[in-house]
Amino acid sequence: MSLRNIFGSSSELFRFVLQTACITHCTWEFVGDFVMCSGPSMEPTLETNNILLTEHITPRFQRLCKGDIVIAKCPRNPKQYVCKRITGLPGDRVRGHFPGRSQVVPKGHVWLEGDNSNNSADSRVYGAVPQGLIRSRVVCRIWPLNKISSLSE
Partner 1 sequence: MWLKSFFKSVLFGVPVGITFLDTVGYVARVEGISMQPVLNPESRNTDYVFLSRWAVSDYEVRRGEIISLVSPKDPNQKIIKRVIALAGDVVNTLGYQNQYVKIPEGHCWVEGDHTGHTLDSNTFGPVSLGLVNAKAVCIVWPPARWQSLAATLPDNRKPLSVSI
User: Which residues form the catalytic set?
Assistant: 41, 84
H-type alpha helices, the chain:
3-26, 57-60, 123-126
For residue 151, which of 90, 32, 67 has the smallest C-alpha distance?
Answer: 67
Minimum CB distance to partner 1, residue 75 (Å): 4
Neighbouring CB atoms inside 10 A of 94's CB total 17
* DSSP letter for each residue of 43-74: TTTS-TT-EEEEESHHHHTT---TT-EEEEEE
62 sits near partner 1 (criterion: CB under 8 A): yes
- Alpha carbons 29 and 145: distance in angstroms, whole number: 25
Q: Is 12 near partner 1 (CB under 8 A)?
A: no
Indicate whether 35 belongs to the interface with partner 1 (CB under 8 A): no
Cβ nearer to partner 1, comparing 67 with 132: 132
H-run or E-run covering 103: strand 102-104
Q: How far is the CB of 1 from partner 1 (least distance, A)?
A: 26
Q: Which stretch binds partner 1 (CB under 8 A): 6-14, 26-34, 38-46, 117-125?
A: 26-34
Number of residues that bind partner 1 (CB under 8 A): 26
Question: Which position among 12, 25, 34, 63 is part of the footprint of partner 1 (CB under 8 A)?
Answer: 25
Interface residues toward partner 1, by CB under 8 A? 18-19, 21-23, 25-26, 29-30, 62, 73-79, 106-109, 130-134
